[in-house]
Amino acid sequence: MRSFDEIHAIAAKRHGRDLAEKIGNMSPPASELAKLPEDRWLSTFTKLIFQSGFNWSVIENKWDGFEEAFKGFDVDACAFMAEDWFDDLCQDTRIVRYPAKIRSVQDNALFIQGLRDRGGIAKVISEWPASDYFGLLALLKKDASRLGGTTGQYALRIIGRDGFILSRDVVARLIAEGVIDKAPTSKKALAAVQDAFNTWADQSGKSMTEISRVLALSI
């Protein structure tokens, strides 16, 4: 496995002066993420769930309608979604009428409520150690709804949580470095990926987000 500096050099050779711009801004401090209100977590989760497997621009263009239809993603209101409200949403032209994804809003509101006795979702996610990022993803996969796989990874990235995304290019670099031999699914492979990211973070002092982007840009 190459060092982070060696992989960064590969990315720099490919992209030159544009590399820093393509890497972009890093995640905000955990202290800022910890202040994010519950409704914005539910809103972001919902947007990524509806965009998954769908035309992202359609969801983006209808998003004001989603905010209205789901009452600003008020967590308590969504958690106690009555059947008549659910039925109305399934006919509501302001949103994409996909019953299973509509139901996930209620499920994820319940998930968020369930984290209140641990200090709230913002505290739990912002304080989760980056060295156990797969543990955080496992929490979303197990206890939330439709937030497994890359949907959960992209949702956390968009909301500002430091972490990596196992995109096609990142997986390709991990394979090239001998960390894994195919897209990781087993616990052993996922642990190997986490160990590799932890090693690169120790070497570089960079965030998981920046390391992930450099890996992707090296392909």
**What's the pLDDT score for residue 27?**
63
In the predicted model, is pLDDT for residue 25 greater than 90? Answer: no
Distances (CA, A) of 167 to 30, 61, 128, 199: 24, 25, 22, 19
In a domain, 149, yes or no: no
Record the tokens describing residue 111, joined without a space: 């998930």
Whole-number Å distance between alpha carbons of 201 and 1: 14
Same domain as 135, residue 35: yes
In a domain, 202, yes or no: yes
In a domain, 92, yes or no: yes
To 10 degrees, what angle do helices 38-51 and 149-159 make?
140
User: Interior CA angle at 132 toward 30 and 142, to 5°?
Assistant: 100
Record the tokens describing residue 114, joined without a space: 């369930």
Record the tokens describing residue 85, joined without a space: 């409200």
Record the tokens describing residue 152, joined without a space: 């959960």
Domains held by the chain: number: 2
In a domain, 147, yes or no: no
Same domain as 182, residue 126: no
In a domain, 36, yes or no: yes
Domain that holds residue 187: 4-26+164-217
In a domain, 144, yes or no: no
Whole-number Å distance between alpha carbons of 22 and 129: 26
Record the tokens describing residue 41, joined without a space: 């977590």
**What's the pLDDT score for residue 188?**
96
Nearest to 214 by CA among 165, 179, 175, 157: 165
Please give the mean pLDDT across all residues of the chain: 95
Same domain as 121, residue 40: yes
Query: DSSP characters for 188-201?
Result: HHHHHHHHHHHHHH
Same domain as 35, residue 133: yes
Same domain as 120, residue 58: yes
**What's the pLDDT score for residue 190?**
95
Same domain as 198, residue 133: no
Same domain as 135, residue 192: no
Whole-number Å distance between alpha carbons of 16 and 19: 6
Domain end (from 96, 122, 139): 139
Same domain as 169, residue 135: no
Record the tokens describing residue 83, joined without a space: 């059947």
Same domain as 41, residue 99: yes
Look up the pTM and report it: 0.92
In a domain, 145, yes or no: no
The string of pLDDT tens digits covering residues 171-219 is: 999 999 999 999 999 999 999 999 999 999 999 999 999 999 999 999 9
Same domain as 46, residue 85: yes
Same domain as 172, residue 97: no
In a domain, 88, yes or no: yes
Same domain as 112, residue 80: yes
CA 8, distance to chain mean position in Å, is 23
Q: Quick one: average pLDDT of 150-172?
A: 95
